[in-house]
Structure 1
Amino acid sequence: MTITWWQILLLTLYAGYQIWDELHIYSSASSPVFAGMLSGLVMGDLTTGLVIGGSLQLTILGVGTFGGATRIDANTGTIMATAFSVSLGMNPQQAISAIGVPVASLLVQLDILARFANTYFAHRMDKKIEEFDYKGIERNFLLGLVPWSLSRMLPVFLALTFGGGLVQSVVGVLNNQLQWLGDGLEVAGAVLPAVGFAILLRYLPVKKHLPYLILGFTITALLTVVFNDIQLLGENVAEVVENLEATFNALPMLAITLIGLALATISYKNGQNGKGTPQQSTSNTQEDSVEGEIDDDEL
């Protein structure tokens, strides 16, 4: 399957829009999971897009841009990984490791370039402020979007237009002469979400809320085992009993989300009720700072 011109156009336009959404609109359309969903719809394989987008979303769970710091561009990485995975029939996990993560890391340099280019419009805005030219301020503010969007649109357009042959050659080598490396990349792609969870847990006040973490993990693990056993039993019964209309589903993600929401609500209400003395709170904050965790009042 080749990537058609309209698919390249739509993905390029979205690449330019998603950075605008991330900086100004905040509609969550700039998240990797949304990028995977949209890329999957454009490429005609929603499942692959969601797998790649969800994996990269989990990978950057604990990574932020505090103080204007540049992070890996997981959104652009998701777009390219999904497009090439679907068009070349590439394993999604292999696409994450071989395309998604390297592209996301390389785009850090273009992000920095866009920030430097944007200072030109910032200085023009300073001048317009001194002149009380409000229209000029608004105009330069919007023009600042140009370097940001181009820093995402150009790589996506060039890669999807001219990079298909190179990626196809690489995939062929990974699946033949370097099969061991291709298998290793698939394993690495599957492990990356766990790395994101580890980074997130490193900076959350885990020690302070350890009972909730243990309880949530235990409940989810137990329910997963129960649901999986029921599903397996139902499938076996369906093979024996004809015209069985019952359906047996695995544990839905919504149930896991609600468990986490309930525990978070309990923790929040306990904090609102003032449980714990000020001395204990100060002590916990100092311990969290030593461990590198972000305390609640810093979020």
Structure 2
Amino acid sequence: MVFQAFLVALVAFFAYSSNKFLGDAMVNRPLVTATLTGLVLGDLQTGLIMAGTLELTWMGIMYLGLSMPSDVAAGAIIGTAYAVLSSADVSVALTVSIPTGILCAYVATACEVAISFAMHKVDEFAAEGNIEGINAIHIGAGIIKAVITSGIVFLAVALGTDTIGAVVDALPQAVLSGLDVVAAALPALGFAMLLNIMWDRRFLPFYFIGFALAVYFGVDIMAVTVLAVAFAAFRFMTTKDEVSEEDDF
């Protein structure tokens, strides 16, 4: 168990430190972290299932400054590890991921607050033109946060899996059935959060067109996606000249 927890912690370290070395490459998203967790634990299929479902659930979450509604990386990693190591039903593992992500978000926010005090030193380095010093603080702060958060993931997997499994086994069947219903509704909640951010009434007809194609005409969701991308590309190519003319004017 300790070795498996170490492998999962490495995935967490990669997810948390990558934005310091790779830019905002989005590798902390569930699509990546849950997949990698399933891969290192030897159950890629469960990792992919958790990745797709959690990405839909947390698709609308955005980090703005120190505001972190949920730590999607930790939630996805711990939830996937729980699903694989305890052979739990995916729907139950999803309900473990949500509160875990929220709790880990508090820790990550505390790390960000603590690291923010180093900005005074960054200001001094900037006034001196010390680029190396600024880079050192930037990278060092990222590594410190990655070590702390990945350490929490390590402890959660090494010590918490059996405990969580015992709690889940003790739950009445009615509660487990309720968890199944909640898990089924989570992707819809993710889409609702996303629509709340990007909603525009001009897009309403396309929403109903996609819904009709998928539900009434039985068009595969991938085909609907390809049609949407093609239409968006067509719209962009046919209107960019008009935008350019307005800019020139």
TM bracket, shorter-chain basis: 0.7 to 0.9
Report the Cα offset of residue 255 of structure 1.
2.4
After the TM superposition, which residues 269-288 of structure 1 pair with which residues of structure 2 at under 5 Å, given as runs? 269=237, 271-272=239-240, 274=242
After the TM superposition, which residues 1-299 of structure 1 pair with which residues of structure 2 at under 5 Å, given as runs? 4-22=1-19, 25-97=23-95, 99-174=96-171, 178-224=172-218, 251=220, 254-269=222-237, 271-272=239-240, 274=242
- Kept in 2, the 8 Å contact 1:32–1:78? The answer is yes
What is the root-mean-square deviation of aligned Cα atoms in Å?
Answer: 2.2
- Kept in 1, the 8 Å contact 2:53–2:187? The answer is yes
TM-score, normalised via structure 1 length: 0.74
Equivalent residues, number: 243
State the SS of the aligned residue for 1:164: helix
Deviations 1:82-123 (A, max 9, x none): 1111111100111111x1001011112112111112113322
**1:147 & 1:116 partners in 2: Cα distance?**
13
Report the Cα offset of residue 67 of structure 1.
4.2
TM-score, normalised via structure 2 length: 0.88
**Greater RCO, 1 or 2 (C-alpha within 8 Å, sep 6+):** 2
Q: What letter is aligned with 2:202? A: K
Q: Which residue of the partner structure matches residue 239 of structure 1? A: none
**1:267 & 1:58 partners in 2: Cα distance?**
26
- Kept in 2, the 8 Å contact 1:216–1:263? The answer is no
Q: What letter is aligned with 1:123? A: H
**1:190 & 1:47 partners in 2: Cα distance?**
19
**2:155 & 2:226 partners in 1: Cα distance?**
42
Report the Cα offset of residue 205 of structure 1.
3.4
- Kept in 1, the 8 Å contact 2:122–2:137? The answer is yes
**2:216 & 2:4 partners in 1: Cα distance?**
43
Report the Cα offset of residue 129 of structure 1.
2.2
State the SS of the aligned residue for 1:163: helix
State the SS of the aligned residue for 1:26: coil
Q: What letter is aligned with 2:47? A: G
Change (3 A) 1:216 1:272: farther
Deviations 1:119-152 (A, max 9, x none): 1332222222233333222211211113321342
Gaps of 5+ in 2: none
- Kept in 2, the 8 Å contact 1:52–1:93? The answer is no
Deviations 1:17-56 (A, max 9, x none): 2122346523332211111111111122112111112111
Deviates more, 1:142-151 or 1:44-53: 142-151
Change (3 A) 1:92 1:25: same
State the SS of the aligned residue for 1:30: coil
- Kept in 2, the 8 Å contact 1:61–1:196? The answer is yes
Runs of 4+ in 1 over 4 A off after TM superposition: none
Deviates more, 1:258-267 or 1:108-117: 258-267
Report the Cα offset of residue 68 of structure 1.
4.3
Report the Cα offset of residue 221 of structure 1.
2.7
- Kept in 2, the 8 Å contact 1:216–1:259? The answer is no
Change (3 A) 1:120 1:12: same
Larger Rg: 1
Deviations 1:249-270 (A, max 9, x none): xx4x542321221232244345
- Kept in 1, the 8 Å contact 2:31–2:51? The answer is yes
- Kept in 1, the 8 Å contact 2:38–2:46? The answer is yes
